[in-house]
Copies of this chain bind each other. A is one copy, B any other.
């Protein structure tokens, strides 16, 4: 692999002159510039980013810490973050935590300023005192706890209210919720929206209609749905805190020959591509994932420039996409 030295020797100039050409410094004699450019071409020179970043005091990487790539929401998001990061000449390093506290702590611990310039975090279990970060960071989702870090995401309460309002507008009155979680801030907010929408419509809040889910995987949704269907007086609608739970719930309903949406209307959250093609297709809250990704990256870029702690939370838009799982044909 060619280095600056090689190019310099070939062009008959000093290393620094080559460096100047590579970095677009103005004052290089046209003649030398031509010779250097020819030598660059001839050697196929590509800068050693490690060395450059060592010298420049940056790494050229940002970390994306998320639970698991096999969760469609995070996979889609990761793809968008990678695309957004490219705009700022950043490479993305993905760390999976599998939603465990130890996994998240491990990921955070490995995030030194020598490895990444900044980090985007999607924590699920972290506590306040875990956030001893040495690089600028942005939180996706919610503040699990009160931590002085910028956040990017949608208004979970409003979005959840929109989802439940939609169910109410269909005439459903026995509306359950799947996805309560003791730790996750997001879950708390979605539950809050659920309760607010019920209250607004004068519907009673029935705690037995709120089913927890530990992992937000399809299996958890199916299990939760089964327990709801086992009730003496089962619900006629369910608001699931993400699409995977909803897909699992629909599967469980199908296994019990409960018809969706006639007997049971279902709303999800995240708008995975998968939900457009399920049978029935799934009504879902659709966050603008591209907006989330680019807002997060842009925030970090701004922060990296001026490290004075500007703490702002960015609200990204969302919409409710009504599909077959709530509309009786």
- Chain B residues near A50: list those with CB within 8 A: 50, 53-54, 59, 114
Task: Tell me if A316 is interfacial: C-beta within 8 Å of chain B.
Answer: no
A254 to B248, CA, bound (A): 19
- Chain B residues near A70: list those with CB within 8 A: 72, 75-76, 79, 273
A53 to B91, CA, bound (A): 17
Task: Tell me if A167 is interfacial: C-beta within 8 Å of chain B.
Answer: no
A92 to B47, CA, bound (A): 20
Task: Tell me if A51 is interfacial: C-beta within 8 Å of chain B.
Answer: yes
Task: Tell me if A222 is interfacial: C-beta within 8 Å of chain B.
Answer: yes
**Which single residue of chain B is at the shortest CB-CB distance from A221?**
B277
Chain A, interface size category, equals: 35 or more
**Which single residue of chain B is at the shortest CB-CB distance from A1?**
B113
- Chain B residues near A1: list those with CB within 8 A: 112-114, 134
- The answer to whether B274 and A254 have CB atoms under 8 Å apart is no
Task: Tell me if A250 is interfacial: C-beta within 8 Å of chain B.
Answer: yes
- The answer to whether A279 and B277 have CB atoms under 8 Å apart is no
- Chain B residues near A75: list those with CB within 8 A: 69-70, 72, 75, 78
- Chain B residues near A248: list those with CB within 8 A: 277
- Chain B residues near A276: list those with CB within 8 A: 218
Contact of A218 among B47, B83, B247, B273 (CB under 8 A): B273
- The answer to whether A96 and B79 have CB atoms under 8 Å apart is yes
B-facing residues in A254-288 (Cβ within 8 Å): 254, 273-274, 276-279, 281
A95 to B218, CA, bound (A): 28
Task: Tell me if A49 is interfacial: C-beta within 8 Å of chain B.
Answer: yes
Known: A49-B115, A251-B281. 11 other contacts (CB 8 A): A1-B113, A1-B114, A1-B134, A50-B50, A70-B75, A78-B94, A91-B93, A222-B277, A247-B274, A251-B277, A274-B274
